Amino acid sequence: MFLLSLQADSTFGLFPLELEITKRKMKVHIEQGTPDKASHIASLVMEAMNPECCQNFAGPHHTLVDFHQMMERLIKMDDSQYSYLNTMVATNSEGIITGILVAYDGAKLKELRRQFIKEAIVSFGIDYSAMDAETEGGEFYIDSLAVSSNFRGKGIAKQLLAAAIEKARELGIPKVGLLVDKGNPRAERLYASIGFEYVNDTVWGGHGMRHFQYTV
């Protein structure tokens, strides 16, 4: 639903990213999320969205705590775009969560978004059913990417991106896509260094965005 602004800079294998990954400063273990990690995942997804955006979704009569609770419920579901099934979690050698990446088949966005729409109506009384689609079929869409503040600048984002690219390859999806806020050139440089290429400008949620894709 909303890609991130990148907050920082696998066990899924190496390929064209091998040179970049071997330069990483911290090795992390990447695996699928689980429901018991929902609270921590929700906090990092909200970092990717940024607090202002989360508050806008919650509306004037609810708080970020309310939004966090809704995100926890969505993460624990099997059929939500933010489901633990769509979430990759990076942990360090001590088992501490260092970052997350939420991604899914763009062709399934409409059905995956239904739970967000339903939960927003119940939680906030706001209907987001008319919200623009930011991805489509043929693209493994990176919705959210965030690295915990204590672990930024250690190459963790690159490892998560490498895992997402490998997942797209496993699923037979030819492109990995994401949106970058036009005000985030640092993130653009990171994606370009990995091999993502600019596709077009777009608007999502009233923000000017740049669409990038990686060809698997």
pLDDT digits (tens, 9 = 90+) for 122-150: 999 999 999 989 999 999 999 999 999 99
Task: Look up the domain containing 190 and give its range.
Answer: 18-215
pLDDT at residue 15 greater than cutoff 50: no
Pick from 44, 21, 31: nearest CA to 151: 44
pLDDT at residue 19 greater than cutoff 60: no
Range with the lowest mean pLDDT among 17-21, 60-64, 116-120?
A: 17-21
> Percentage of the chain surpassing pLDDT 70?
88
Residue 13 lies in a domain: no
Residue 11 lies in a domain: no
Check residue 23 and give its pLDDT: 52
Residue 67 lies in a domain: yes
pLDDT at residue 18 greater than cutoff 60: no
Residue 152 lies in a domain: yes
Residue 147 lies in a domain: yes
Cα 81 to Cα 99, 107, 194: the distances in Å are 18, 12, 25
Both tokens of 210, joined, read: 């740049």
Residue 5 lies in a domain: no
Domain CATH number, residue 90: 3.40.630.30
Residue 4 lies in a domain: no
Q: Count of domains in the chain?
A: 1
pLDDT tens, 187-213? 999 999 999 999 999 887 667 899 999
Residue 91 lies in a domain: yes
